[in-house]
Structure 1
Amino acid sequence: MRPQLNAITLAVKDLVNLKHFYANVLNWEIMDENPDIVMFRLEHIILTLYKEKEHAKYLGALAGEHISPKFYFTLNTVSPQQTDTLFAELKAKGVTIVKEARQLFWGGYGGIITDLENNFWEICYNPMS
């Protein structure tokens, strides 16, 4: 797997206030948004603010009140097929898969894995990048 980082997603309590902070205080341009998510393109990375409850649902099986992480990292692939190939390789190596790769509500295709200390990594194809 190529060493890269394409996005960081933060679970936030108050999306409206944080959107205001990043857009109006730091003057970062909004790339995309909907009622649950605001995305900012920072030079070579995307910062996503995600409502806490929706963030926990998105992460899947291990996400719950007390164990859902406040953030996760994203690695983008070039296609859904590459995503599936990576998941098969990682599964064969014994990596914990929290959420199998699948079509995602926002148009991408991906899933979630963890490292040995349960840090969450999304591996996905993003048709918008």
Structure 2
Amino acid sequence: MQASVSYLTLGVADVARAQRFYHEVLGWPSKGLVGAGSDYGEVAFFKLENGMTLALWQHDSLAKFTGVALAPAAIPSLMLSHNVPSAADVDALYQALPTSAQVRAPRALPWGGYGAVFQDPDGHLWELVHNPAA
């Protein structure tokens, strides 16, 4: 069997707020919230160009679905990356972010490419990166 990851689910404090951030600030297409009235609450899906789907699910709903207790917040151990076509795209996307989301301003990276770091409203780290070698 070939290894692949097709869905990435992020636990969030407020699924509606998180959906608005990814849809309105980042411009990612979404059909909004689905699953109203279900035992596990609403979820937002974003179909990404590479065939992957990003899902945003409220922390308590994710815990109920998986049967795993909520854990206290810790130092982030994961950073997601959004590879864009050019350094100018990194700059434009970073400048479009609310100041509160901006973590590290765009700059040349020591291993090549150009990137910046931001956090979504729930503290998930994202890298905006142009990596011509990728």
Normalised TM-score (structure 1): 0.46
Say which structure is richer in strand. 1
In terms of Rg, which structure is larger? 2
